[in-house]
């Protein structure tokens, strides 16, 4: 049973790289290119984890994380911010908005999947 991940990312190159690395390791990946669609897909797809950019059209990552936290059915779904926001306080701000983890861009292709796997390894898959 593969783990399903939702990537909410508006940059095609970033999305492609993350998807490629994750699918290569057996993850099923679905994607949204804006915050509003990301929230809708999280509710309909019931992913095992959500990878969330911060700079997004329609709803930024802070608003998306806060909205996702309002839905009890997503309480156990880790939200991992994958972002270039790396200034003092950025990590704390997204964690306060509801993120479970934080990975800086540019991602390291050699460690990215292992970093994501930490958040889903002990979780019972919600998808088939």
The residues, any chain, with a CB within 8 Å of residue 32's CB and separated by 6 or more, are 6, 7, 8, 9, 38, 40, 41
My answer on whether omega of the bond before 16 falls inside 30° of 0, hence cis, is no
Assign 28 to helix, strand or coil: strand
Q: What is the pLDDT along the chain (128 residues), one digit of tens a residue?
A: 589 999 999 999 999 999 999 999 999 999 999 999 999 999 999 999 999 999 999 999 999 999 999 999 999 999 999 988 766 778 889 999 999 999 999 999 999 999 999 999 766 555 44
Domains of the chain: 4-120 (3.40.50.2300)
Inter-CA distances, 114 with 21, 27, 107, 109, 110, Å: 10, 12, 12, 10, 8
The residues, any chain, with a CB within 8 Å of residue 122's CB and separated by 6 or more, are none
Q: What pTM, to 2 d.p., does this model score?
A: 0.92
């Amino acid at each position: 049973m593969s783990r399903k991940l939702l990537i909410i990312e508006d940059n095609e190159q970033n999305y492609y790289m993350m998807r490629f690395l994750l699918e290569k390791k057996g993850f099923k990946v679905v994607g949204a290119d804006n915050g509003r669609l990301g929230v809708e897909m999280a509710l309909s797809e019931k992913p095992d984890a959500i990878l969330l950019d911060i700079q997004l059209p329609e709803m930024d990552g802070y608003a998306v994380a806060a909205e996702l936290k309002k839905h009890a059915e997503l309480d156990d779904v880790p939200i991992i911010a994958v972002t270039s926001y790396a200034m003092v306080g950025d990590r704390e701000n997204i964690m306060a908005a509801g993120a479970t983890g934080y990975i800086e861009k540019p991602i390291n292709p050699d460690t990215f999947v292992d970093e994501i796997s930490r958040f889903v390894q002990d979780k019972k898959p919600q998808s088939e």
